[in-house]
Structure 1
Amino acid sequence: MFKPSILLRKNALFIGSDEGAHAWGILSSNVETCKLDNINVESYLTRILDQIEAKLPRRDYAKLLLWNAPAKLSISR
């Protein structure tokens, strides 16, 4: 179950800078959490990036958190 994240960690070892590593850690953590919670990763990331691009106020960023994702983003298994 954790093998993809371990491989990802090894692949991202030389990310370039501390800031890049921090951003990469946040992104990969979100992706792996989406997978664990059966949420379509691409749809989730598209949704949050579109909201940020549309100038969503920072005070409303909590609405973008994974546990607030709409049910339509869930993957049925």
Structure 2
Amino acid sequence: MAEAIRYTTSRWDGLVRFIGDGRIELDTNTFERSIRPLALNRKNALFAGSDEGGDNWAVIATLIESCKLGGINPNDWLAQTLTALANGHPANRVHELMPWINVG
């Protein structure tokens, strides 16, 4: 019983925040389910045939899953991004083309 009380008191601030704000989830299951595709794609990239191929696949898969999480059509985003790069978008500003820039 003492162990359970110590556990609760060590997390008291979070418990009070959870009770006071109905938007806060009690656990992280919802968030963990939403990022599972990202983690699985990165894990699958380990078997891409080479280190460089795995790295490239992990980057592409992460960008695609980021689009999905942000409600962006990955095919449209990729086509727009590749078109912008082909039309001379500056390499030092490629961060402006990332899918999370256009969310919300």
Structures share fold, TM-score greater than 0.5: yes
How many Å separate the matches in 2 of 1:34 and 1:12?
Answer: 18
Question: Does the CA-based 8 Å contact 1:5-1:32 persist in structure 2?
Answer: no
Show structure 1 runs of 4+ deviating over 4 A: 8-13
Aligned-residue identity in percent: 33
**Deviates most, 13-22 or 26-35:** 13-22
Q: Which amino acid aligns with 1:60?
A: R
Aligned to 2:93: 60
Give the alignment's TM-score, normalised by structure 2.
0.54
Aligned to 2:60: 27
Aligned length: 70
| CA 1:41–1:3: 2 relative to 1, 3 Å | closer
Q: Larger relative CO (CA 8 A, sep 6+): 1 or 2?
A: 1
Question: Could you list the per-position Cα deviations for residues 23-56 of structure 1 after superposition, in whole angstroms to 9, with x for gaps in the alignment?
Answer: 1000000111111111111000111111112221
Give unmatched runs, 5+ long, in structure 2. 1-32
| CA 1:3–1:58: 2 relative to 1, 3 Å | closer
| CA 1:3–1:29: 2 relative to 1, 3 Å | closer
Give unmatched runs, 5+ long, in structure 1. 72-77
| CA 1:50–1:3: 2 relative to 1, 3 Å | closer
In terms of Rg, which structure is larger?
A: 2
More helix by share: 2
User: What's the RMSD between the two structures over aligned residues?
Assistant: 2.4
